[in-house]
Amino acid sequence: MKKIYGVIALLILNLACFFFIFQFFYFENTSWLIKGIVMIIVLVIDFGISLGSLKVLGRRYRRKTNVRQIKRIQRKKLAVNIVLTLLCVVLCVGNYYYLAFNRTIAVITSNLAEPAVIHCYAYVKKDSSYQDLADPDLTLAGMAKDERADIFTLYTEAISQDYQRTNNVDYMIRTIDNTNDLYQQLINDKVQVILIGDQALSILKSNYPQFEQNLRCIDSRQIKTAVDSVPVNVAKEPFTVLIMGVDVREYEGDIYTKTRTDTLMLATFNPHTMQLSLISIPRDSYVPLTCKDNAKDKITHAGTSGTSCTIETVEKLLGIEINYYAKFNFNALVDLVDAVGGVQVDVQYSFTEQNSQDVPDAISVQAGLQTLDGEEALAYARHRKTQNDHVRNAAQQQVLSALLQKLASPQIITRLDALMGIMQNNMTTNLNKNEIYSLAGLLPQLNSLSIDQYVLEGEDIETYVPLYDQNLWITQLNDESIQLAKAKIHSIMTDPSTD
């Protein structure tokens, strides 16, 4: 019986080893030499264990074998079975988490996030005389409404830079509701040229077989977005991460939906000194939005034009280059905090707030140091009914800091499965897998993490906003506060220990 059990355990162990090798080859973005070395090491160890185990399990009793020798052989077989069982459990559990982790990373770093490069095209009628977008007679262009947020700013800026032609001065862009109508508008001379991206191009070619016969491309280009940030060695070099929290309900869309940013926080981290600066930017900050021709608006509205617009706007505001971004659905905070067993926060004020299901006054929290569950943490991070946005930003930093401390605890290993499931559907980032691995390697050092928290200061006023032709409440940021934030960032990014 021990022999049969041992052979079955050995078979499972071998399958687990081969599955690990398969996963390593499939998921890891490393050289074939490294992959080959890892495979050889795993196979040699597996072969050695298999050979030794079979030698013990296959041992037979001879006629003259005494009772003591029989018991010794049985003990060895039992020991082999126990070792094989433990190895099977370790490898099977390890394979499970390795697969789950890689699947999660694949989702949150997937191509569903905004691309680093977009493709733009300009098409005219084949028999027209237009050769390029520099032609001064090209004065009316068409653009699909569905693509306007993606390509309008980047394409018009490229045209201005390459051809010295300014939108609304040298030419006009007509927004067309139905993408299919672009073709008809051009054929019927309602517009002179159509400016489109990959999405519209694919739709038009699919729905109009004569597209290539009747139209001609006079401009084709790849344009980098602000999402294509400069990567660094996150384990050795200081870097910045723009943290964007959005409040998207299931019926409104998902994490990739372009919507207003409810939370905007710049994290600057130095892995040598374990210093972290968190600078919150009030959602109503009245600043020039790069995607709206630098027209002033609330910074929260930048998110409706995409991640790249928010990144570019913050870069311009603080005079920095942002290395990475992380966008998360704020409603996921409930599940995330519950998954780590709650967070300890020194609540600065008593309040009553709606819960994640929008039930009014469902959450009541008293001031003081306490452990908040997910609903309470979300309510504290959201509340501004009796407080201003600056106080709310400070509360959000408290919750984030407390969450980081919980993630640094050894007990978190038992909650990885739940955490990965939550992140998979509620987070996206342009950090790649190797960079996330490197950051995960710093988790044991989080206990020595020094966090400096700061909220950009400003005055809440009601003023006329030309972009909407109406009065709105906005936050007019103080120049001194912006300069102080820049100094804090510079201090961490240029620390002498990183030279």
- Cα 4 from Cα 201, distance rounded (Å): 63
Q: How many C-beta neighbours within 10 Å does residue 175 have?
A: 12
According to the model, what pLDDT value does residue 295 have? 92
Residue whose entry in the numeric block shows the structure tokens 């300009």: 122
Read off the amino acid at residue 293. D
Structure tokens at 96: 């499970």
Give this prediction's pTM.
0.68
Angle of CA points 367, 368, 370, to nearest 5°: 115
According to the model, what pLDDT value does residue 2 have? 67
According to the model, what pLDDT value does residue 437 have? 79
- Residue 145: C-alpha distances to residues 149, 181, 226, 259 (Å): 8, 11, 22, 16
Q: Where in the chain is the domain with CATH 3.40.630.190?
A: 239-498
Q: Where in the chain is the domain with CATH 3.40.190.10?
A: 117-224
Return the beta strands (E) in 294-395 as ranges. 295-298, 324-329, 343-347, 351-353, 363-365, 368-372
Question: pLDDT averaged over the chain?
Answer: 87
pLDDT tens across 363-378, in order? Answer: 999 999 999 999 999 9
The H or E element containing residue 270 is: strand 261-270
According to the model, what pLDDT value does residue 252 have? 58
Q: Percentage of the chain surpassing pLDDT 90? A: 54
pLDDT tens across 398-446, in order? Answer: 998 898 888 777 777 677 777 877 877 678 888 887 888 788 778 777 7
Query: Tell me: domain 239-498, CATH 3.40.50.150, correct?
Result: no
According to the model, what pLDDT value does residue 256 have? 62
- Residue 304: C-alpha distances to residues 165, 223, 263, 289, 324 (Å): 26, 20, 14, 11, 19
- Residue 28: C-alpha distances to residues 23, 24, 232, 395, 413 (Å): 8, 5, 19, 39, 22
What is the CATH number that goes with domain 117-224? Answer: 3.40.190.10
Report whether 97 contacts 22 (CB < 8 A): no
Of the pLDDT bands very low, low, confident and very high (cuts 50, 70, 90), residue 243 is very high
Of the pLDDT bands very low, low, confident and very high (cuts 50, 70, 90), residue 113 is low
- Cα 88 from Cα 82, distance rounded (Å): 10
Residue whose entry in the numeric block shows the structure tokens 């003990």: 75
According to the model, what pLDDT value does residue 56 have? 85
- Cα 432 from Cα 304, distance rounded (Å): 25
Of the pLDDT bands very low, low, confident and very high (cuts 50, 70, 90), residue 103 is confident
- What average pLDDT score do residues 106-133 get? 82
